[in-house]
A and B are shown apart, each in its own frame.
Chain A
Amino acid sequence: GAGVSQSPSNKVTEKGKDVELRCDPISGHTALYWYRQRLGQGLEFLIYFQGNSAPDKSGLPSDRFSAERTGESVSTLTIQRTQQEDSAVYLCASSSDSSYNEQFFGPGTRLTVL
């Protein structure tokens, strides 16, 4: 694929339900990141995967949030027992293995919790 893809593009859920968001990074990119962008605000780092290293989960806002990545491929971000404050656009990005390589972002998943 040409770029980072995310699915679904939009997700509306009821408070208390679990949701799963998917990210397909660019092939060959070893680093994968999840960010959250609330309406009118900047990007908030959530979690970072780098190859087979333990992920950096320091940005996850609560234990309701978790993420997995299989090898250097697809990642899923799971939010359990969603709350209204979880409503945001969730962005995934990938980059090759270097801190100075730019990150390529997916189009995001817009999550609305009613």
Chain B
Amino acid sequence: AQSVAQPEDQVNVAEGNPLTVKCTYSVSGNPYLFWYVQYPNRGLQFLLKYITGDNLVKGSYGFEAEFNKSQTSFHLKKPSALVSDSALYFCAVSSVGDTGRRALTFGSGTRLQVQP
């Protein structure tokens, strides 16, 4: 079974400061890792993904994430936070298991609050 943990329910950061949203995962086999963002009253939007290759993945809106195999982590980062980054962030993992299912397993979400 695959699982994702987002240990922080909420992250607070001042505008202009760097931000990190943590994610760890557990899968058998190679993980495919994703970050999604959910703005208020809107659907989930894809931010970035790691499939293979460089451990540092760059995505939309200036976000990036670093895949760390030894720590089974895929933390989301941004060098300089904006107030408009305030939203709910979900980490997700996908792998082809015994059933061949490819649905994503989502973490519980981390609410990012960027203060002006």
Tell whether A43 pairs with B90 under 8 Å between CB atoms, given A100-B51, A102-B49: yes
Nearest chain B residue, comparing its CB with the CB of A59: B103
Residues of chain B with a CB closer than 8 A to A93's CB: 44
Residues of chain A with a CB closer than 8 A to B32's CB: 99-100
Residues of chain A with a CB closer than 8 A to B101's CB: 48, 56, 58
B interface residues, tally (CB under 8 Å): 24
Q: How far is the CB of B36 from chain A (nearest CB, A)?
A: 8
Task: Kindly state the separation between the CA atoms of A45 and B102 in the bound complex, as whole angstroms.
Answer: 11
Task: Determine whether the beta carbon of B108 is less than 8 Å from that of A99.
Answer: no
Task: Determine whether the beta carbon of B103 is less than 8 Å from that of A105.
Answer: no
Task: Determine whether the beta carbon of A99 is less than 8 Å from that of B43.
Answer: no
Task: Kindly state the separation between the CA atoms of A35 and B34 in the bound complex, as whole angstroms.
Answer: 16
Residues of chain A with a CB closer than 8 A to B49's CB: 100, 102
* B74 lies within 8 A of chain A by Cβ: no
Nearest chain B residue, comparing its CB with the CB of A104: B46
- Specify which of A31, A41, A107 is in contact with B43 (CB 8 Å cutoff): A107
Task: Determine whether the beta carbon of A91 is less than 8 Å from that of B34.
Answer: no
B88-105 to A contact mask, C-beta < 8 Å, 1/0: 001000111001011111
Instruction: Provide 6 A-B residue pairs closer than 8 Å at the C-beta atoms, listed in order of the A residue.
Output: A33-B104, A42-B109, A98-B102, A100-B49, A102-B49, A107-B42
